[in-house]
Structure 1
Amino acid sequence: MSATASRPAMADSSAGGSGFFAYYRQYARSGVHAASAAALTAIGLWASFTGNRSFILLAIAVYVLPPIFLYLTGEGERVPSVVNEDTSMGDDPDRSNARSDETHDSEDNHDHSDGQVDRSEADATAERRTADDSSALGSPSATSTTDRRDDEEHIEDEANDPVSESNDSERDGDDRDGDESAEPDWTEIDTPTDRSLLDVIAADEGAYAVGEGGVVLAHNEDEWTVALDDGPTANGNVLRGVDATDGGGAVWFAGDSGVLGRYADGTLTDHSAPEDQTSTWEDVAVTGDADEEQVYLVNGSGELLRGSYEDGTVSWGGIEKPGSGSSISSIAFVDSDRGHLCDTNQSVYETTDGGESFDRVGIEDANAAFTDIAASTAETLVTADDGSLFRHDGAVWTRLRPSEDALAAVALAGETGFAAGDGGAVYERMDGGWEAVETPTDADLWGIAIGSERVVAVGAGGIVVEQ
């Protein structure tokens, strides 16, 4: 792209105006302007101190010449500018966290304020132009990623409009178009509960879902049955997270008032209130084989509790805070050493030593509350309440926008990926992008898992859909 052609694009991205004045408004927010202003001040003070008026001319030249030079030569497009995006976080009662609104007890509530990014039509047009230009050989956008240092954190904000293929329908907000006679790839499954299900895990020996009232559903052979009706303490506390050991020999679930249970070989063991902790566990992760597993619990106060299970008992460590103290929404492990967690304050943390320590690995300028995380040896995926899906390839973060509504869950198995959210929305990774697929429900989906034989999503009113 020539320098002459790039200047109007810069002017268009500014807030009104055209030509040099629009360019200068954008330049005034750049690092070059800040440096020249600092030089003007320093040289001006030196001129006052020495009484040498020639320094005054030098100060004026240092401040005036850079923007004129950049504008006339076209180098202005290389000056970093402020992203033209409204990133204000608004309190929207209709978009507040569905899990918290429907299920938290008053004493154990951890409210998550949802952030929503408002985009003007001009912003969306600018994003599409950026995505198109970045594919052109030799464009600044195309070369910026390869020129970037490996340890530099960056977000590429890509507009990713779902495209219908075969029996899949396009999703625009809550609207669904397409051939109504086409059978959806997903099937709604009859379940023995109408209580909302908040999480699901697909293990080798079946699948398990947990939710309101302490219900635990188990999938064996061709049907879902109630494995536990009122939680490990029989008090009906909400269960929010579930995970299984390697091979699925044991299943752990956790939730409100510190409840924690282990289910193996048809036997339930109550491990509630570990280390006298009775706060709400937002999620649980498990690594290792049954009878020698490691258990990880996270809560709404940004705390992590680790334990080792052996011979029927759990040896717990102390409570730790991996991050700033914001509510941790999800935790997941790739293996016994490497794991990730995310919180509602746009932060992702990684451990490579089994949870002994965590380092923050992102995500700057996300401007959304993170809802779920999944990872493999090659990548990490994070969903957010503004419909964004973030991907980390080991070097940089990339933002995708498969949905206009909140995404609540994400699952990853090799190259296969699924995300789920409000209104029965499910998105599948296809050909490097994320596309909406048709499901037979409009109920909000809050958990999704990929198994060896099926993909399972669960949500409001006891809904279970499978592929």
Structure 2
Amino acid sequence: MSDSPTLDGTRRSVLKATGGLLAAGGLLGSAGAATAAEEWTTAETPTARTLHAVVETAVGPFAVGGGGEVLHRTDLGWQRVLDDGPTGNSNDLYGAASTDDGTRLWVVGASGAIGEYNVLTGSLIDHSAPNDVTNNFNDVSVVGEPGDANVYIAGDSGKIYSSAANGATETWSQVTPGSGAAIQAIDFHGPTNGHAVDGNQTVFETTDGEVYERIGIADANVNFYAVDSDGRDEVHVAGDGGMVHDWDGAAWTPTDLGDASFRDIELADGSGYVVGGGGALFSFADGTWSQESTPTGENLKSIRRGSTDIAVGAAGTVIEK
């Protein structure tokens, strides 16, 4: 992810437009071992509300959060572009993703909120409450071009909602892949290929965008909140207990990074980050996870990588490197 017009097909996988993400695994390294030459700094933002997601678009990074706020990182700093969400009811926004060309920002959140924001013109299409569903939506993944994108949404009710027609009315379908526990995160690496995690320690895979198969994780003993789907044999999951799990298509490899509760994971080309509670941020490089010092103790919710790496979280927190 970068400040140049790099393209983003899903909430966590903007870099897939420039090449497939590589699997990661390894042992915990010494603190501060990665990227010691640069430090994380705090950026000013026009909000004190929690920012739940940050993604790349054709015109730079956007972050979404409480009260339906949408922020854009410009040459003048972070600016508010929406303050009450797609419905105008100030529903909290929990997830965001962009189309493959980076020109449409999709957002989802509380009470069935779904919006499609044109980052070039500032226009907004309200797709909220598909099939009259007003449950909370936790995450979104989008694959395709504007007007012809496949949209997948993680529901708090344990359902995954999808549209193969850019969210057009009466094109939405829904499926309950597991026990009915909340779907916490979802990420697709192809039009119908992706993964999701739920609140019952389960990872699901689909190859057709409709039927989901459980692929783990046995004896994980922690809840999952983040998934990075880079291929059928490249999946990264993070959650409670400081645990990161990597799937190589045959087996899961766990890595214990302490006691942080992780909320997002982003890996590409053998490097990346995982972030979580209390300002916890670990970087991955050269086969090793290393804890990095951050200027905040706020809970971090989302991260994106690029020429400027960005993490966002509680109280309007944005840190950059």
* Shared fold per TM-score greater than 0.5: yes
Q: 1:415 aligns with which of 244, 253, 270?
A: 270
User: Any unmatched runs of 5+ in structure 1?
Assistant: 1-156, 169-182
Task: Kindly indicate whether structure 1 or structure 2 has the higher relative contact order, using CA contacts under 8 Å at least 6 residues apart.
Answer: 2
2-side partners of 1:339 and 1:441: how far apart?
33
1-side partners of 2:284 and 2:76: how far apart?
27
Query: Which position in structure 2 is the counterpart of 1:174?
Result: none
> What secondary structure does 1:326 align onto?
coil
Query: Which position in structure 1 is the counterpart of 2:72?
Result: 218
Q: 1:268 aligns with which of 124, 144, 147?
A: 124
Query: Which position in structure 2 is the counterpart of 1:288?
Result: 144
Matches within 5 A, 1:220-369: 220-264=74-118, 265-309=121-165, 313-353=168-208, 355-369=209-223
2-side partners of 1:162 and 1:315: how far apart?
52
| Deviation by residue 1:86-145 (Cα, 9 ceiling, x = unmatched) | xxxxxxxxxxxxxxxxxxxxxxxxxxxxxxxxxxxxxxxxxxxxxxxxxxxxxxxxxxxx
| Deviation by residue 1:336-361 (Cα, 9 ceiling, x = unmatched) | 132000011111011112x1211111
TM-score normalised by the chain length of structure 1: 0.60
Matches within 5 A, 1:23-422: 160=28, 162-165=30-33, 168=36, 185-264=39-118, 265-309=121-165, 313-353=168-208, 355-377=209-231, 378-422=233-277
User: Any unmatched runs of 5+ in structure 2?
Assistant: 1-24
> What secondary structure does 1:233 align onto?
coil
8 Å contact from structure 2 (residues 240, 259) kept in 1: no
> What secondary structure does 1:457 align onto?
strand
**Identity percentage of aligned residues:** 38
8 Å contact from structure 2 (residues 99, 149) kept in 1: yes
Aligned length: 294
For the pair shown, the structure with the greater C-alpha radius of gyration is: 1
- Structure 1 stretches of at least 4 aligned residues deviating more than 6 Å after TM superposition: none
| Deviation by residue 1:9-48 (Cα, 9 ceiling, x = unmatched) | xxxxxxxxxxxxxxxxxxxxxxxxxxxxxxxxxxxxxxxx
8 Å contact from structure 1 (residues 388, 400) kept in 2: yes
> What secondary structure does 2:111 align onto?
helix
1-side partners of 2:61 and 2:262: how far apart?
22
TM-score normalised by the chain length of structure 2: 0.86
2-side partners of 1:356 and 1:419: how far apart?
29
Q: Note the aligned Cα RMSD (angstroms).
A: 2.0
| Deviation by residue 1:384-443 (Cα, 9 ceiling, x = unmatched) | 111101111111101101232211111122322210011211111021121111222111
8 Å contact from structure 2 (residues 29, 288) kept in 1: no
Alignment-mate amino acid for residue 143 of structure 2: T
8 Å contact from structure 2 (residues 34, 292) kept in 1: no
| Deviation by residue 1:439-464 (Cα, 9 ceiling, x = unmatched) | 2211110111224x322110011011
8 Å contact from structure 1 (residues 210, 242) kept in 2: yes
